Chain A
Amino acid sequence: MEPFKTITSKAVPFNRRNVDTDIIMPSEFLKSLSREGLGVGAFKALRYLEDGSPNPDSEFNNPAYEGAQILLAGPNIGCGSSREHAAWGIKDMGFKVIIAASFADIFYSNCFKNGIVTVILPEAQVEALMEDVKEGAEISVDLEAQTVQRPNQEVFHFDYEPFKRHALLNGLDEIGITLQKAGALDEFEKQQSQKLPWLYGAA
């Protein structure tokens, strides 16, 4: 995974509440065997018209936001299904950061696993940022300092789980981190198999 430090970019203001993962990635795209190339399917019903042409009313097709790497989303983004395809699609569209007042739990974790930085700010601050970026202005996200900087230089602070922040800043592979705990893992299984032998195939 690429380490993440800071990013300064345009942002797409996507102001809807409770956007579920069926909207982010419809089930027709879940048949893929790979993590790549899912950007085309992301937000399909919103981004395209029935004839398949880009929907000019969609924020995602607004030329003012072209090249945006930050997504400003409404509260409870990513609710519903556990499909990681939602995170893969957003990443494939070029987004590296999502800022929202709240995230659904599984989606939040799926973003992290794919190196997408998920920033939680109070709803009023997210709305202020959405206003800020309307004309294509840039904002900055600094994971090290845990700040988002507005175009007027004002700074919003955010909290970040230390474990996730450390992994993101250093681009660490989570499975690799866990496998370093092999000793503790062996010991856990040994003890549990004595206490609850039926979970270990004892008949």
Chain B
Amino acid sequence: MPHAKTLYEKIWDAHVVDPGDGETSLIYIDRHIIHEVTTPQAFEGLKLAGRKVRRPEAVIAVPDHNVPTKDRDKPIEDPQSAAQVAMLKEKCAEYGIEHIEMNDIRQGIVHVIGPEQGITQPGITLVCGDSHTATHGAFGALAFGIGTSEVEHCLATQTLQLKKSKTMKVEVVGEPGPWLTAKDIILAIIAHIGTSGGTGHVIEFFGPAITGLTMEGRMTLCNMAIEAGARAGLIAPDEKTFEYLQDKPRAPQGVHWNAAMAHWSTLKSDPDATFDKVAVVDVADIPPLVTWGTSPEDVAPITGTVPHPDDFANPSKQDAARKALDYLGLEAGMNIQDIKIDRAFIGSCTNSRIEDMRAAAVIARGRKVAPNVIEALVVPGSGLVKAQAEREGLDKIFTEAGFEWREPGCSMCLAMNADRVGPKERCASTSNRNFVGRQGPDARTHLMSPAMAAAAAIAGHLADVRDYPPIPPVQEAA
């Protein structure tokens, strides 16, 4: 009997080019997505060494991190951003890599366009010079972020020298209540296992609350596996996965579709496979969640209060909590819902897909952004998401409520373009990181789901989405 394997082990074993010394192996990479920020030095390295790109057709490029989200008809104002975007295009032409231009309707955030184009497929290995590559694990692909030297290595060889990760099973139990989204579930998981709980591991998610998620929800969940320290997140592919991929441009077609489905159906952990680590997270009856600190593990229920640093057992955690409260300008013990905000951001590779747009629009419809909110941005994850949302009239709902409707990109998630949170300003954000300075120097970030961010924008403070029941659309006279 061959020994039982986890999904991770199956994908790993199918990609070993050379087992090496048994600890570090040479692993084949099927797909590589590149963007403008973490590639210039990789191309520079290739050039210096006189090396070629081994399989340009396995690579796709799109600018996303520092593209502007408005006035796309004008040249990019920031000369450094413009130089990076121009360099990506130029290098792709030189090496024969397909490049999606900023003004192409398919342009968007790397982790939104991969699945949308059908590049992301079950069982493949996929890398990108961005840590949230974990997103693609929602399809049962082994996908992880790499640094620029690895981008260079992968361009030159279509492989990486990798150390095998340990495996971790995260089982989500309990029936989630209303408005408990994939974002809340992953925040609950990170709060439970900590930001280094998954370090050295690849997490596979299990449980009815996971299989019950749409593909969009699964992407949100796997996206933030990295925030739990994991190299990658995985969800075994199922009918929903196949259905999502069926009409995607780069998904297998014709006779290959059936062969691919047959192959994909084998991609699950064997029932008796063992994991190096197991965690069980109960999501029954938990209220929607937000973060109060500067680490994604600093999670509180929206109905709760800001914790006291002394509540933490470990002195260094107490110290970290004190620093976080100081940075965020919060008082221990205050009600979470009394935290006033200055900005709201609905977007990023975590929450910028069509389902996220719809969830935020349901709350925004028939309401107005609070006067104390300087700016409430909605940034769709790709041109295709944007077009779909516009077909559904979501853009009008947002703009009528006082939100800004922008062009796709990373935007305020990391403050590389003009969209940023000012010093000491506070933002209700659907992105994935509340780190010090992440959304701009001295910016204060609270992470939450799109519906919760919309509710916060309407309320002017962190708010419980369950207190904002959808207002039915006004019926047009027949």
Residues of A whose CB lies within 8 Å of any CB of B are: 16-18, 20, 22-23, 26-28, 30-35, 45, 74-76, 79-84, 87, 102, 104-106, 109-110, 113-114, 161-164, 173-175, 177-179, 181, 184-185, 188-189, 192, 196-199, 201-203
In whole angstroms, how far apart are the Cα atoms of A190 and B295 in the complex?
Answer: 45
Q: Which of B1-41 contact A (CB under 8 A)?
A: 17-18, 20-21, 23-24, 26, 28, 30, 37-38, 40-41
Q: Which residue of A lies closest to B416 (CB)?
A: A27
B129 cross-chain contacts in A, Cβ below 8 A? 82
B72 in contact (CB, < 8 A): no
Q: CB within 8 A of B263: which of A79, A179, A184, A196?
A: A196
B65 cross-chain contacts in A, Cβ below 8 A? 30
In whole angstroms, how far apart are the Cα atoms of A18 and B433 in the complex?
Answer: 13
Q: Which residue of B lies closest to A182 (CB)?
A: B157
Evaluate contact between B57 and A106: CB separation under 8 angstroms.
no
B286 in contact (CB, < 8 A): no
In whole angstroms, how far apart are the Cα atoms of A45 and B443 in the complex?
Answer: 12
B253 cross-chain contacts in A, Cβ below 8 A? 198, 203
Nearest 9 pairs of A and B residues by beta carbon? A113-B149, A198-B252, A31-B80, A163-B24, A84-B147, A110-B147, A82-B145, A198-B256, A84-B148
A79 cross-chain contacts in B, Cβ below 8 A? 195-196, 229
Q: Which interface class (under 10, 10 to 19, 20 to 34, 35 or more) fits B? A: 35 or more
Evaluate contact between B17 and A184: CB separation under 8 angstroms.
yes
Q: Which residue of A lies closest to B228 (CB)?
A: A79
Known: A22-B438, A26-B441, A110-B147. A178 touches B159 (CB 8 A): yes
In whole angstroms, how far apart are the Cα atoms of A184 and B57 in the complex?
Answer: 20
Q: Which residue of B lies closest to A180 (CB)?
A: B18
Q: Which of B424-463 contact A (CB under 8 A)?
A: 433, 435-438, 441
Evaluate contact between B156 and A175: CB separation under 8 angstroms.
yes
B87 in contact (CB, < 8 A): yes
Evaluate contact between A161 and B24: CB separation under 8 angstroms.
yes
Known: A82-B147, A106-B147, A174-B153. A76 touches B229 (CB 8 A): yes
- 5 pairs across A/B with beta carbons < 8 Å? A20-B435, A34-B40, A76-B229, A105-B229, A173-B49
Most buried by B among A27, A45, A161, A185: A27
B38 cross-chain contacts in A, Cβ below 8 A? 30, 82-84
Evaluate contact between A175 and B441: CB separation under 8 angstroms.
no
Known: A163-B24, A177-B161, A203-B254. A33 touches B40 (CB 8 A): yes
B163 in contact (CB, < 8 A): yes
B153 cross-chain contacts in A, Cβ below 8 A? 174-175, 178
Q: Which residue of A lies closest to B438 (CB)?
A: A22
Give min CB distance, B411 to chain A, whole Å.
Answer: 12
Evaluate contact between B41 and A84: CB separation under 8 angstroms.
yes
Evaluate contact between B199 and A22: CB separation under 8 angstroms.
no
B400 in contact (CB, < 8 A): no
Q: CB within 8 A of B199: which of A104, A179, A185?
A: A104
Q: CB within 8 A of B295: which of A18, A28, A110, A196?
A: A18
Chain B 51-93 interface 0/1 with A at a Cβ cutoff of 8 Å (1 = within): 1000001000000011000000000001011011001000000
A109 cross-chain contacts in B, Cβ below 8 A? 146-147, 150
Give min CB distance, B299 to chain A, whole Å.
Answer: 14
B438 cross-chain contacts in A, Cβ below 8 A? 22, 27
Known: A31-B80, A175-B152. A163 touches B147 (CB 8 A): no
Most buried by A among B66, B81, B195: B195
Evaluate contact between A102 and B17: CB separation under 8 angstroms.
no
Evaluate contact between B84 and A33: CB separation under 8 angstroms.
yes
B415 in contact (CB, < 8 A): yes
B475 cross-chain contacts in A, Cβ below 8 A? none
A161 cross-chain contacts in B, Cβ below 8 A? 23-24, 163
In whole angstroms, how far apart are the Cα atoms of A196 and B141 in the complex?
Answer: 14
B20 cross-chain contacts in A, Cβ below 8 A? 163
Q: Which residue of A lies closest to B163 (CB)?
A: A161
Evaluate contact between A199 and B147: CB separation under 8 angstroms.
no
Q: CB within 8 A of B316: which of A74, A104, A173?
A: A74
In whole angstroms, how far apart are the Cα atoms of A164 and B24 in the complex?
Answer: 9
Known: A84-B38, A198-B260. A23 touches B435 (CB 8 A): yes
